[in-house]
Structure 1
């Protein structure tokens, strides 16, 4: 029975990752083979399906994810992120440091992966808090909320980009809808959530050895306009295609915008621009720019492999016709596919810790629901993304990154980080359901 095969597969995935601490890439490949064989595929056919899924997933996502990593790395190494932060703080003043910090993290978070964003912005959090005379977590929690929300909802981050490929969703529309949902999620889980704590609860000691950031001088940093336009260039190009498609679909310029609005092309153009604005124009040699590129690619390699393995699992579900079985079950069902997608992703997130694994596995399981129910692929992406960042605890690397950077106890981390990401997840689901009333 197909549903039994899925349950066995997911249970084995949890055991391999939680008990045996197996790497997610290997675990997903093994589970894909097991599920395929349980559903009557020969071992040879199951492996062929895995290879097909790996190839198709990497083929559609490799450029997006790698170019996104390169853009973020160039912004970091040039001082562009620091320029955006310091300018916004100066404009908004010390009384509105939370707002300045949230805007900084939201803007840079579009281009920076979560872990990179933490490394880049946490030293600035310490600086801002000290200068404004406020508790570190008063600034730090909103910054982290913005970074993790962008990580879960907005392409070209690996999770939503990979899930979009499973659901065959439009990346541009997903990006725009993701930003719309991200805004209230960040506000509620960041600035508003911190108001529930007493001042002393937000006071922490800076870990020794952490507060030694690379301080760029005024001359070293690119200008504010250069920094923010370059970092937002992928969003500008992708959004331009969506806008032209909505308002002038028959225009003679549509093919041009289809080209530059393609996520692969948009990110390629952005990286080429960044080579100049964040590199050569700052007096760097091409060798230095290429060093940043190499470091970015090496840093994203494992994430890319995990995403590819999730695609392999999805392909096995399709080739073994489990997708048709799920589709038949859902015909006539009153359960919202958006809620089901969020729930499956949330359960997997709590169980395995990895947001990418949770989102990709959930997407592979529920992908047939789009054809069966007519659900919006873009909203399904965001539902999976929201579920994949729910209650994070000790089995998640993000939990420990947050804990160690802010020098917290496990109890403090659970009360702040774990609750914060759950708020983001629930607000994200609510946003998806509200948007579904208008575009579903």
Structure 2
């Protein structure tokens, strides 16, 4: 019954948005209330659950998104994004530019959270698309694929790192196997799928981007000699990667050598958190993209205000998506799915993927799906010689399948690229499913040798 309620909730949401043209934020809040009541949640707990879900989601991403949008806008408005775009075009040429974007997304994605990578790369992608007069989504979709794959499979991202801890797997091996799986997955779900998607939903590729994030990448054209140098532009864009990557390396060294926590490591952990990284990066960009080029602070702050204004409604939508997700979790949907697989004798790798996939479909959160799966399959692994590292990757693959309306990532992509609901389902939901299935297939293939 809980799964039927979830399905009906999704249908009601789609009707409100697509048939009655109701604002997405309002629709999500209305459906959250309806689903909570249908799941039989105590009346006194419903508002608390919705507020908690909204606050929890925005608490995680509001600062990161706000500061990331400001950083992206500063780089775009100064001409830095245009300089990076033109240099990449010169080096790779128009025919190979999509692969260059995928490679950039993959490298950045190893160190950066999905959301941070998106807000940093969108201004550059927008400028490349504008310069070459090619479709924004043609470059944007493969770039988002690279970020999503690294987020799902590669430590130090939260999902694979936490699952590895739960399974007591070797994080280093998870990273090695993850990269082996991630590279072919990115190629299949990125550039190759983009060709199919363009035939399936040409409208998504043909229209001019109108998403809130796309407006961050929109900036006036400069003569190339009037833009900042490529070195300083790229260094400013990569600064969050350098900070986050350095912090991660130091933390990994600490864990591998068994050094106990002290003030230095606490400071490194604070510097490496996404919020701190983005704040320091914005301050750095204010200097490199503004003060150093004698641009008045008033003008720089105007760019910052425009960036935050552009993502205001998007943040509300993401928060409401988090509210729906929390209602499903508090309503016990995940527990119901867990009961279905009790006492199953399927292969642990396939079982981990299946449970994580169903939990993901039902309640939206990839992290919750992964952690719940770990708790369920650990007892079933007793007496088997299955690789713990492959179990981590199988769980991670299942936990990102079929991103839809109860997943914050769905709304991020929809709003970032200015897509309709139908276009987001036909591109992003299908793409995430391809990543998930490819992940399972490559895990099963690796299991023949590991």
Cα gap change, 1:327/1:421 in structure 2, threshold over 3 Å: closer, same or farther? closer
Moved more, 174-183 or 259-268: 174-183
Matches within 5 A, 1:40-189: 40-92=40-92, 99-100=99-100, 110-112=117-119, 116=123, 119-126=126-133, 136=134, 143-150=139-146, 152-153=148-149, 183-188=183-188
The answer to whether 1:232 aligns with 2:247 is no
Partner of 1:274 in structure 2? 285
Following superposition, the deviation at residue 106 of structure 1 comes to 6.5
Matches within 5 A, 1:182-201: 183-188=183-188
Cα gap change, 1:304/1:360 in structure 2, threshold over 3 Å: closer, same or farther? farther
Partner of 2:330 in structure 1? 319
Partner of 1:241 in structure 2? 247
Partner of 2:5 in structure 1? 5
Cα gap change, 1:385/1:323 in structure 2, threshold over 3 Å: closer, same or farther? closer
The answer to whether 1:221 aligns with 2:227 is yes
Partner of 1:293 in structure 2? 304
Cα gap change, 1:266/1:58 in structure 2, threshold over 3 Å: closer, same or farther? same
The answer to whether 1:369 aligns with 2:373 is yes
The answer to whether 1:304 aligns with 2:315 is yes
Following superposition, the deviation at residue 168 of structure 1 comes to 7.3
Cα gap change, 1:105/1:245 in structure 2, threshold over 3 Å: closer, same or farther? closer
TM-score (norm 1): 0.68
Following superposition, the deviation at residue 117 of structure 1 comes to 5.5
Secondary structure, aligned partner of 2:402: helix
Following superposition, the deviation at residue 184 of structure 1 comes to 4.0
Secondary structure, aligned partner of 2:22: coil
Secondary structure, aligned partner of 1:388: coil
Stretches of structure 1 lacking an aligned partner (at least 5 in a row): 127-135, 197-201, 349-358, 390-395, 404-409
Partner of 2:295 in structure 1? 284
The answer to whether the 8 A contact 1:78-1:222 is kept is: yes
Cα gap change, 1:195/1:221 in structure 2, threshold over 3 Å: closer, same or farther? same
* Rounded Cα–Cα distance in structure 2 between residues aligned with 1:4 and 1:82: 49
* Rounded Cα–Cα distance in structure 2 between residues aligned with 1:52 and 1:295: 29
The answer to whether the 8 A contact 1:70-1:293 is kept is: yes
Following superposition, the deviation at residue 61 of structure 1 comes to 2.1
Following superposition, the deviation at residue 382 of structure 1 comes to 6.2
Could you list the per-position Cα deviations for residues 289-343 of structure 1 after superposition, in whole angstroms to 9, with x for gaps in the alignment?
1111111112222222222222222322333333333333333444544456557
Secondary structure, aligned partner of 2:311: helix
The answer to whether the 8 A contact 1:153-1:178 is kept is: no
Alignment match of 1:430 (pick from 421, 438, 446) = 438
Stretches of structure 2 lacking an aligned partner (at least 5 in a row): 109-115, 165-170, 197-201, 211-217, 379-387, 405-412
Secondary structure, aligned partner of 1:215: coil
The answer to whether the 8 A contact 2:71-2:120 is kept is: no
TM-score (norm 2): 0.66
* Rounded Cα–Cα distance in structure 1 between residues aligned with 2:293 and 2:228: 7
Partner of 1:407 in structure 2? none
* Rounded Cα–Cα distance in structure 1 between residues aligned with 2:105 and 2:247: 25
The answer to whether the 8 A contact 1:241-1:258 is kept is: yes
